[in-house]
Structure formats: structure tokens, C-alpha cells
Amino acid sequence: MTVSDVNTPPAYNHDAEKDSKSTPSNLTQEDHLGQQTLYGDATHRMLKGRHIQLIGIGGTIGTVLFVQIGKGLMQGGPGSLFIAFSFWCLIVLTITMCIAEMVSYTPISSPFTRFAGFYIDEALGFAAGWNFFIFEAALVPFEVTACHFILQFWTDAIPVGATIAVIIVLYALINLMAIKYFGETEFWAAIGKVILIVGLIFFTFIVMVGGNPQREAFGFTYWKSPGAFAELYYEGSLGKFVGFMGCLIQAAFSIAGPDYVAMAAGEAENPRKVLPRAFKTVFYRLTFFFVLGSLCVGILVPYDDPQMIAAFRDGKAGAAASPYVIAMDRLGIKVLPHIVNAMILVSAFSAGNSYVFCATRSLYGLALEGKAPKFLSICTKTGVPIYCVACVLVIALLSFLQLSNSSAVVLSWFVSLVTASQLINFSVICLTYLRFYRAMKVQGFDRSVLPYRAWFMPYAAYIGLVATFIMTFVGGYTVFLPGMWDVPNFLFSYTSVGLFPVLYVGWKIVHKTKIRKATEIDLRQNLAGIEEYERNYVPQPPANWFEKILHFLFG
């Protein structure tokens, strides 16, 4: 049997997977019929292409692009910031291509963590799944408290506990409803983010050519004075290189996207048509936003701006530390900072909502594979893994640690401990793809008929693997500089790096798993239900002119 047998993208009948069993694959290409997961996937395919595209954008664009990017500007200057973000977008492209080819071929729930078990080793799937879950779940309380911090831009009168409670309740309501309602919520929230960043890009161009109350056409003045490259810790070329590394580290921990698109694969409508387009458009749009965003802040504010330095040093609330708001204040523009802060609030809320979704689906994927308690695989009639949502919301209650100053420090530490997890995820994706690619080649599968075929493979996957692996260890390099050793910072940077092999080795020892040979990999695993869905899928045309516009814009 060849891939050409599944060339026409069908849809997913989850009933076809129920009560099926997952067994180690030692079947040949001729006799295997497509194995299934341990428990049946009961989620519903109700997410349209526009939902998935905006989920990918919404989960990636948070406060970093509007506020925290200022830290990178201070460390490396505008030139280093722009180069670092542009370079890392190329690395994300390699990761996007890897995950897009695999997920478009087998669009299942929590795909890339489960693929690690399918194509390499069940122990790696266990480690990757829990690593991603812990990472996403830890970000939920962080974004919840960030929302209150942003509100303090206007007033300190709102009780912290009240803000946290309201946001968690909203997350519960959104994520316990049918997936289509989550998709609509995230779609419109992410649209707000897109409007904000596009608006700020236009704002930058207008004010830099003189369209501001001061009538000052400052252009690229700050690239000349104080300069394009800042020195960090050291003087001269070494200091500028260290500054660039600071920007590159921020880019590596900030730019994502393909993983969030992939997490929606199991609930995507007509996935083999929708997902290839979603992966492409999300990457190109995020690259546009991050690259131009990094350029804009370097145009608007010098890297040694005293107001920006003071804002980060003093922990100013909300948009007060945003380079955009600082530029608006300097130019005498009074109203826009409040609009920016409001949209940053929406960004933080939306990012937290995406983290709840991704954490829920990653835990659900673990349950489907028998790597988490079985009851977590139970879904409501509307296809929501209710107990997984409940577990994530319980973790969100850690937000209440913010009520105590000492506890707030603990919360910050908890989030910092998992910062390297995203890069570990990316490394696993690239490594998994290399095994997938090898299995395709050895078993004689024709990649040209896949729903999405990545180019420059397997070399692009090797580039992505090497880059993400190196950055995983480089992230905390400052603790090794002379006189800068700090135990907490060392633990923040490398705890998740140490935890991952513990998870892998532990599961491997207990369950005696083996690394699969390329000839043993079942490339048709979980395809039966997908093919059945595609055979039965009937596309629904846009019902009105508004839906026609959305379909034209997002497919």
C-alpha cells in the first residue's frame, strides 16, 4: 500500500477509532492496515481554516511583541534585534515545514508529541507530551496575573483576587463550550492582535516621516545615535556579540506558531486541505509581524532611552514599558497609549486562553496513548475533554499566589523553570520528522502525493534540530560569564533540560520500550478514521456575504 491510497483528503470519523488498540508496529508496508490509539478520540472536527490560522497567531502573539521586546532592544540595540528576529524566523520555518508535513498527513489530536512515540520511541512520546503539557499549563497562571498587571496601567483599585477569579471563570466557560465557540472567541481576539500590530506598524511609518505633533521626521536617527548595536556586559565587539545573543535568546523564546496550529489538528474540519494552508499563512504572517515589529521598536526608541530603562527597572504596569507607548509619550500623543494598553490586555487574555486549549489537548493526547490516567480521555457530548480542562484550570489557580508578594515570587520562579521547554519541543519535532522522512524513504512511500510536502528536506530538519538544540543550552549562558554565577538563574534556565531525560529514561525503564527501526514504523497509524471522515465529508458553502468574505480572506 502506498501513500497514493490516501492522497484525497477525507475527514475524521472518531467512531472508527473507538475500542481500538495500539500495539508496537512490526508490520510490513503490504500487510498493515493502520493501527489506532489505545482509547477512542471523541473530539469533534468543527474548527474551520480561519479558526486554526488565528489560533496559531493568537497563541504566539502575547505581550512580548508589544512590551517585552523592549528588553531585547536595550540588550542588543535595533540592529541586533532586527537581525536576531529575522534569523530565528528562518529557524521557525524549518520547524514549520517538519510539523506541517507530518500533521497534514496524519491530523490527529496532540499530534507532534504522539508522533515522537509513533516514529521514534514510546518513551520519547511520553517525555515530549508531558514536557509540552507542563510548559503550556505553567503559562496559564502567568498570563492570568499578567492581565491584572496590565489593568494597573489605569488603576490599582481593582482587587487582584477579583481579576484572577473573573479570568479563570471566563477561561472555563470558553473552553468547556463546543470547540466551534472556542474557535470563534479566539478568532476575534486574535483579530484584535492583528489589528494592533498592523496599526503600530503604520503608526511607526507615519511618525518617522514627520506625521506627529512635533513635526519631527526622525527616520532611522536612533540607528545612528546611539547606534545600531548595543554593548552588553563587555565593551567593543565582544559586548556587541553578547548583546546580539541576548536578542537571539529572546527571539528563540518568543517566536512559535506551528505547534499551536498542530494542536488544533484533531478538531480541524477537512484537515488535509485546511492544515497545509494554515501552516503556511500562520508562518508568513507571524514572520511579517515579528520582523517588522522588531524593526519598528528600533526606529521609535533608542536602546538607551532613560524612560524605557526606568520602566523595566521599576516594573511599570501594563503598556508603560512598551517602546510604542514610550514613543507616543515623547511625541505628545495622549490617547493612543490607552488604546494600546487595552489591546495588550486582549492579547494577554487571548494568549492565556490558547495555553488552556493547548495544555488541555496535550494532556488529552497523553490519555489517548495510555500515558496519562484513562479518565482524562473522556469527552462531553460536544467533544470537549472535560477532565483535562478541569486539570488545567486547577493549575490556573496558582494565579492566586499573586495575592502574596512572597508567593508571587514563587509563581514567577515556577514559570521561569520551564522556559527551555519550547525549544525542547522544537528539537523533538525536527528529530521526529527525520525518522518520519527516513521511514518514508525506506518503505518506498512517495512524498510527492502528501497533502503538504516540505522542501529542502531532510537538510532543513537538520538545521532546525541543531539550532534549537544549541539554543536550549545557550539560553542561560550568562550565568557562566565571569562574576555572574547565580544558582536561581541556573535552575531557571536548565531545570526543564534536566527533567526531560528523566521522563524519557524513567518511562523507558519501566515499560522497556525500544527505538523503532525505520522498517518497523507504521506510517498508516491512525489513518483509518481520517480516511473514513474524508469519504463522508461534505463541504458547507458560506451561508452569507460575511462568511464569504471570511472564506476569501482565510480560506
- Taken in order 267, 268, 269, 270, the sign of the CA dihedral is negative
Question: Domain residues of the chain, as ranges?
Answer: 3-12+48-400+407-554
480 or 428, which is more confident: 428
Query: Residue 40 above 70 pLDDT?
Result: no
What does the block give as the cell for 398? Answer: 496558582
Residues 6+ apart with CB under 8 A from 256: 59, 60, 92, 422
How does pLDDT run across 93-123, given as a tens digit for each residue?
A: 999 999 999 999 999 888 988 999 999 999 9
Query: Residue 62 above 90 pLDDT?
Result: no
The pLDDT of residue 31 is: 33
Query: Residue 37 above 80 pLDDT?
Result: no
Average pLDDT on 437-453 reads 91
What does the block give as the cell for 70? Answer: 523592549
Query: Residue 533 above 80 pLDDT?
Result: yes
Average pLDDT on 360-385 reads 91
The pLDDT of residue 331 is: 87
pLDDT band of residue 412 (cuts 50, 70, 90) is low
- B/e letters for 315-339, b = 16+ CB within 10 Å, e = fewer, are ebbbbbbbbbbbbbebbebeebbee
Query: Residue 189 above 90 pLDDT?
Result: no
Q: How far, CA to CA in Å, does 335 sit from each of 63, 297, 325, 437?
A: 20, 19, 10, 53
The pLDDT of residue 92 is: 94
What is the DSSP secondary structure assignment for residue 47, as one 8-state letter?
B
pTM attached to this predicted model: 0.85
Q: What is the largest CA-CA distance in the chain?
A: 75
Residues 6+ apart with CB under 8 A from 27: 522
Query: Residue 284 above 60 pLDDT?
Result: yes
pLDDT band of residue 415 (cuts 50, 70, 90) is low
What does the block give as the cell for 101? Answer: 508535513
- B/e letters for 99-132, b = 16+ CB within 10 Å, e = fewer, are bbbbbbbbbbbbbbbbbbbbbbbbbbbbbbbbbb
Residue with cell 534585534: 81
What is the DSSP secondary structure assignment for residue 381, as one 8-state letter?
T
Residue with cell 530565528: 88
Alpha-helix residue ranges (DSSP H) falling in 108-159: 111-119, 122-151
The CA distance from 516 to 165, in Å, is 46
Of the candidates 323, 276, 280, 321, which has an alpha carbon nearest to the alpha carbon of residue 298? 323
CATH annotation of 3-12+48-400+407-554 = 1.20.1740.10
